[in-house]
Structure 1
Amino acid sequence: MPLDLHEATSRRRAGMVDRLTADGVLTNVLLRDALLHVRREVLLPHAYVRVSGPGADPIDWRLLDGSHPDDQEEWLALIHSDESILLQRDGDPLDTLPRGPVTGGHMTSMSTYTPATIETLQALELCPGHSYLELGPGPGVSLALAATITGPGLATGVERDRHMTTFARRNLDRLGVGATVVEGDALEGHEPQAPYDRIHSGIGVPCVPAPWVEQLAPGGRLLTTLATRTPSWPGQLLVTRTPAGTIEAVLQGRPRGYRPMLGYRWLSALDHRARIKADPGRARPTRLAPPPDDAYGLWLAAAYLKPGLVRDFQAETMTIVAPEDDSWAVASPGEGTVRVCGPRDVWAELEELHARWEEAGRPESYTVDFTAGTGAQTVTSGAAPKALTWTLPTLAGIPQPRS
């Protein structure tokens, strides 16, 4: 690497770390040192940039090649920003990608935006000497950071895509952090190195696969996104195994989460956007003011107890759509009215759920019980008679990773 580029990347890393520290995102000293040590430019040698606006089909992209002088400034700024880095389109091989404009396809692998990576690794309380398993590591950014903290030979990633496995393995070897990437089904974990002190899933799952829990060491922590059919209200599940071997799990709503596993299709409000703008529906009175975006406990419950709903966050006022029922609700802030359309009264369902949520004590977190004996994973807000409760969907019917 030319000296000027080496210096530029070092400055970018230091600036990224200083910014994240000043913003209060980065608080862990070990992770700060790892972020300064891991050369992101090695793991993220290219990046797709979306050119098309929202709703375009097919989508126009532009591939930035970090080795090309004309791309380097934009590429360096992007990979050291807080944005997700798009790396793979339609599962393609990653060694012969054409620089410049491309059209169509869907992104099949990306590096998670840096604040989420930091939040995850800090929540896991990763320390030197811990054995670490990452499920769906993609290009290996968080895996490299974890390996830098744990020490060589203790961090393993399981990646289903053979092209990404080869890509990540080669780049991690160049870094020399002592991380391992194996090709396999992340839902099965990786038994050969079990048990693990820390397990992190970079893919959203509808429930926790049994092998993950079985491979968690006493005193261990497991962190994953729980996927539903809506991208609007994700949940983050922290599972711990006590020193005595019992399992405890806490589920919380989050503003963002990881993309779901292969086979999940998210609902979208996009196809209804123009129709809603043209005719938002009939007005009716309501006593429910639009709940705040950060009422995560409410919105998480909505994802499960009022399934089939998705929020259009680009709408001017709160708009919630049931796309498969051709129904929606458009709230009018401060006016005591809501507009509804379609056979499903979406707002009435939210009014009912909001009342139940308040009766349950406005819970912001939920416990998950793995001990029912039936394999079911039951979520509850507490022991009170009016507690909110539901059962997580199983993995049955979800397509397995392609060979």
Structure 2
Amino acid sequence: MTANGSLRTEPWKRAVERVPRHEFMRGGFFRPVAGAVPSAWSPVLEDGDGWLEGCYQDQSLVTQIAGTVVPTDIRGEIMRQPTSSSTLPSLVLRMLEELEAEPESTVLEIGTGTGYSTAVLCARLGDGQVTSIEYDEDVASRARTALARVGRYPTLISGDGLLGYPEGAPYDRVIATCGVRTIPPDWIEQTRPGGLILATVGGWLGSSELARLTVHEDGTASGPLLGGGASFMLARPQLPPPLGLLPDLSAGKEREAAIGADVLSNWTSRFVVQSAAPRAQRLTLQQDGHVEDVLIDVESGSWAALYEVNDRWVVRQDGPEALWDAVEDRLSRWRTDGAPALEKFTVHVSPQGQVIRW
């Protein structure tokens, strides 16, 4: 981590050296099965082949699948979605350094996970300065055991991290190790004016970025996106709703699209699309002999389907909101302004809501 630049300062380096990551992986982790479609996972158990080496590689390690399944629960493979992990250590340390916390700072961590990042915070700031909240009670219990094993006893809470923990407020710093669509107002209310909130802001199209916000005296917060393409699992209360029964995607008005669905394959342009259609989810379907990219807003019932024919893009959309019209408008303005990188974006949060600008 020192060599690749993610660990830059001596105090945090000393903190990392005092925290053995393998102690937080005693229950094992899941390894992706190479070439599996759809994605499959196989367990790597303590003292098994590759366990210790995996603990000390700079990679995220999946520790729970489908909300309840842990590595010791299965033999063979499982084809479900990961729901908890030990985050890429270099990202953890980059975030902790970006948090600009000092030994006297009080920190609220949203998402305890395995407890590894919590332990690093404790090693740098002291156990009494750290409060960590975990949504999943089973995950929280395992983290509590691991932290005790390495002699760390911060304040650990089981509950909805989006609500924060007012009993310990105000905090000098709030850091989230889960992604959010919008910065919760409770985090702002529980942060001291002048304090910082560091969280990954993203959405249901899968593009996200670290934001560092300063809390102001008037109860608002604002700050830049930091760049680098950080990605976390979304906080469970902010996960997308089930798609349910799809609308008739052969209906709707069709026109030639000024911008095609290929913008969804680029991280930055997809972030812009996401800001124009914040409640949209994406799926890919076979329709009339061609592949269509579909954006659908379950709440409003609006949808847009795009396909390419003869080197041109066609969009068909329906519902109360013309989703792709909004996307084309936002992307056109972004391109007119020189297609700025995400580091040029800022986030503003007030009682009226969250606004992202470049």
| 367 and 23 in structure 1: CA distance in 2 versus 1, 3 angstrom threshold | closer
Residue in structure 2 matched with residue 327 of structure 1 by the alignment: 305
Q: CA deviation at 1:369?
A: 3.6
Residue in structure 1 matched with residue 15 of structure 2 by the alignment: 34
Question: Structure 1 CA distance, aligned partners of 2:55 and 2:306?
Answer: 38
Question: Structure 1 CA distance, aligned partners of 2:136 and 2:307?
Answer: 40
Residue in structure 2 matched with residue 180 of structure 1 by the alignment: 155
Q: CA deviation at 1:187?
A: 1.6
Question: Structure 2 CA distance, aligned partners of 1:28 and 1:248?
Answer: 27
Give the fraction of aligned pairs with identical amino acids, expressed as a percent.
24
Deviation per residue, 1:32-69 (Å, 9 max, x gap): 1122110101111211112263532xx54321112x3x
Residue in structure 2 matched with residue 256 of structure 1 by the alignment: 230
Residue in structure 1 matched with residue 43 of structure 2 by the alignment: 63
Q: How large is the RMSD of aligned CA atoms in angstroms?
A: 3.6
Residue in structure 2 matched with residue 5 of structure 1 by the alignment: none
SS of the residue corresponding to residue 180 of structure 2 reads: coil
| 346 and 219 in structure 1: CA distance in 2 versus 1, 3 angstrom threshold | closer
Gaps of 5+ in 2: 242-255, 285-290, 297-302
Deviation per residue, 1:17-40 (Å, 9 max, x gap): xxx211222212222112211010
Residue in structure 2 matched with residue 9 of structure 1 by the alignment: none
Residue in structure 1 matched with residue 246 of structure 2 by the alignment: none
Q: CA deviation at 1:362?
A: 4.1
Higher relative contact order (CA 8 A, sep 6+): 2
Counterpart pick for 1:370 among 332, 342, 349: 349
Residue in structure 2 matched with residue 343 of structure 1 by the alignment: 316
| 179 and 291 in structure 1: CA distance in 2 versus 1, 3 angstrom threshold | same
Question: Structure 1 CA distance, aligned partners of 2:238 and 2:224?
Answer: 20
Whether contact under 8 Å (1:329, 1:347) holds in the other structure is no
Residue in structure 2 matched with residue 48 of structure 1 by the alignment: 30
SS of the residue corresponding to residue 128 of structure 2 reads: coil
Residue in structure 2 matched with residue 238 of structure 1 by the alignment: 212
Q: CA deviation at 1:219?
A: 2.7
Question: Structure 1 CA distance, aligned partners of 2:267 and 2:77?
Answer: 40
Alignment of 1:86 onto 2:62: yes
| 79 and 235 in structure 1: CA distance in 2 versus 1, 3 angstrom threshold | same
Whether contact under 8 Å (1:321, 1:346) holds in the other structure is no
Question: Structure 1 CA distance, aligned partners of 2:55 and 2:353?
Answer: 38
Deviation per residue, 1:143-196 (Å, 9 max, x gap): 111111111211111112111111000100111133232111212111121111
Question: Structure 2 CA distance, aligned partners of 1:196 and 1:173?
Answer: 24
Alignment of 1:105-116 (within 5 A): 105-116=80-91
Task: State the aligned residue count.
Answer: 324
SS of the residue corresponding to residue 51 of structure 2 reads: helix
Question: Structure 1 CA distance, aligned partners of 2:308 and 2:8?
Answer: 40
With the length of structure 2 as denominator, give the TM-score of the two structures: 0.76
Question: Structure 2 CA distance, aligned partners of 1:320 and 1:24?
Answer: 41
Question: Structure 1 CA distance, aligned partners of 2:267 and 2:32?
Answer: 31
Gaps of 5+ in 1: 1-19, 268-283, 313-318, 332-336, 383-403
Deviation per residue, 1:263-311 (Å, 9 max, x gap): 54569xxxxxxxxxxxxxxxx99899x7798883x44222121453759
Residue in structure 1 matched with residue 52 of structure 2 by the alignment: 76
In structure 1, give the amino acid aligned to 2:65: R
Alignment of 1:219 onto 2:190: no
